[in-house]
Amino acid sequence: MNREALIAGVGHSPFGKLTGRTALDLEVEAAIKAIADAGLSPKDVDGLVTDPGPAQGILNGITPHYLALGQLLGLNPRYTGSEILGGAGSVAIIQRAVMAVEAGLCSVCLCVYGDAPLSAKGSFDYARGDEAAFGLFGAAGLHALAAKRHMHLWGTTENQFGEVAIAARAHAARNPNAQLQKPLTMKEYREAGYIVEPLKKADCCLISDGAAAVVVTSADRAADLLKPHTRILGYGQAHNFGTYSSPDHFDSLPAARCGPEVLNKAGLAPSDIDVVQLYDCFTIVVLMQLEAYGFCAKGEAGSFVEHGRIGPGGSLPVNTSGGLLAEAYGGGMLHVIEAVRQLRGEAEDRQIQGAETALISGHGLGMNTHTTLVLGV
């Protein structure tokens, strides 16, 4: 019996401002598409793990989420649950599905992210917890501090943040599903006002209604399926329970701990990775992850991304679908789906020729959580 866990199917709903549709409605659509992509039916699914987005987590709580979704899909799984790790959650539920399949707790595990923050008004417009005392309204304020710290320590410039945003738009221009398909120039980037200095609008991820899903199953089960399966070469997590008031909180990410470890487990070096899908809630996070994963030295990410290096045709294309900055906000699940499509050779105009390995990251909860997934053909 071969219980090695594989990704067998992917699917997603539309993304954008989807008036009149609920998060659960969108999740059902994404789930059905992923199950069909795997060549399965809902009756084959015996595991369900979910990543409720921020609006769902705040407005509805997490306990009923997988129950409500499972009921709508007609599932009676042997294994289920939800994860709340912010932007690290989507990769985390795939890791959880891998462990469940390989432990024999289920044989076909459905992983679903979904949210409708544009419809669930009020989910992003107030400060929470300790942030309120310092006037930090949401994630932009925290990541602006990280950007300022990187500028102070390493001489990083606003134009270098802009290079990340421009690359994301260039990739999105090749993606018919992207919300922002119009290319961005440095002049346009520079002329935009600040959201929280030094972050401009293009430095910040989109807010989107939508859902995405991935099917994880065993090698034995996948042998009979139509689509080429995607191997899971390594995965891991690292967490930092410090706060932004800690002196070194913004100096590095937990990715610096789990990233090299996961690559080592997979028997790969950064130079062996063909497809790079980095969680990009803000441009500064892309720079810090390039350093943490070893694609460049610490403090050198700003110069590393210059001259289109991470854009289409560059030596290290990053977030080939446009990512959270330009495709849509889909937790981290759209990053996984793009990686799978690249490894299957299904990425159309944005296809990286000969792609055999992919790295996907998740990052969340005010720079406290990080998840890593490495895939292969």
Catalytic residues: 279, 329
Residue 210's CB is within 10 A of a number of other CB atoms, namely 33
**DSSP category for residue 299:** T
Can you give the length of the chain in residues?
377
Residues in a beta bridge with 199: 196
Other C-beta atoms lying within 10 Å of the C-beta of residue 265? 14
Give the span between the Cα atoms of 111 and 11, in whole angstroms: 10
Round to whole Å and give the CA distance between 342 and 171: 13
Closest CA to 276 of 194, 168, 178: 168
Q: How far is CA 119 from the centre of its chain?
A: 21
CB 48 within 8 A of CB 215: no
Q: Where are the beta strands (DSSP E) in 197-286?
A: 199-200, 210-218, 230-239, 275-277
Q: Distance (Å, rounded) from C-alpha 112 to C-alpha 90?
A: 8
- Measured CA to CA, the distance from residue 245 to residue 190 in angstroms comes to 30
Q: Torsion angle, CA of 117/121/126/128, rounded to 10 degrees? A: -50
**What radius of gyration, in Å, describes the C-alpha atoms of the chain?**
19
